[in-house]
Homo-oligomer: A and B are copies of this chain.
Amino acid sequence: MSSTNPRGTRRGLVLVFTGEGKGKTTAALGLLLRAWGRGMRVVVIQFLKAETGRWGEVRAAQRLGWEWHKTGRGFTWQHTRPEDDAARARAGWELAQTKIASGQYDLVLLDEFTYPLHYGWLEPRAVVQWLAAHKPPSVHVVITGRHAPPVLLEFADLVTHMRKVKHPFDAGIKAQPGIEF
């Protein structure tokens, strides 16, 4: 549990969307939209994805005035300097800590955050311990990505595993703008 809630009052959850299926980041975006619809304050810290990306969600966030931080520079198989990735992941996590602890947001999305944990650039247990100690009780934190480490799954309040049943790539259909990115 990320925090206690003896009287059933509002409490911030730690939610994890993991698995190899389509819909992890997408579900997180839907959560942000729902929260924003209720007037909640949202912020996105995006790990790993290329800083030059111009995905539909970034454009949408700009139109909505959502704060959106890109800290990564693409998936690791696209380049060959893992020490840079580790440094970027640490910087991204420091930014995330600042945002979570600030009390200025109701929902913080750490998008693709499982990868720095999985690759060992950040220590999963230290991350969980920091959340347990420093996340304000009312703040929701959403974490997406494949290979969520067991310690994070154990700590989270909600975990959904997205399983790929069928994907158009398998049928040779290229990624569709507005759907895949």
Contacts and interface: CB of A to CB of B under 8 A. Distances in A.
A177 B156 CA distance: 18
How many copies of the polypeptide does the oligomer hold?
2
Interface centre among A28, A35, A57, A158 (most CB of B within 10 A): A158
A60 B36 contact: yes
A31 interface: yes
Interface string A139-181: 0100000000000010011111111111110010110111101
A33 interface: yes
Interface in A98-123: 106-107
A124 interface: no
Given A27-B27, A178-B107, A34 B21 contact: no
22 contacts: A8-B173, A15-B22, A15-B179, A23-B27, A23-B30, A25-B30, A26-B28, A26-B30, A26-B34, A27-B30, A29-B33, A33-B33, A33-B60, A34-B55, A34-B56, A34-B181, A36-B63, A37-B59, A37-B61, A37-B63, A107-B178, A157-B173
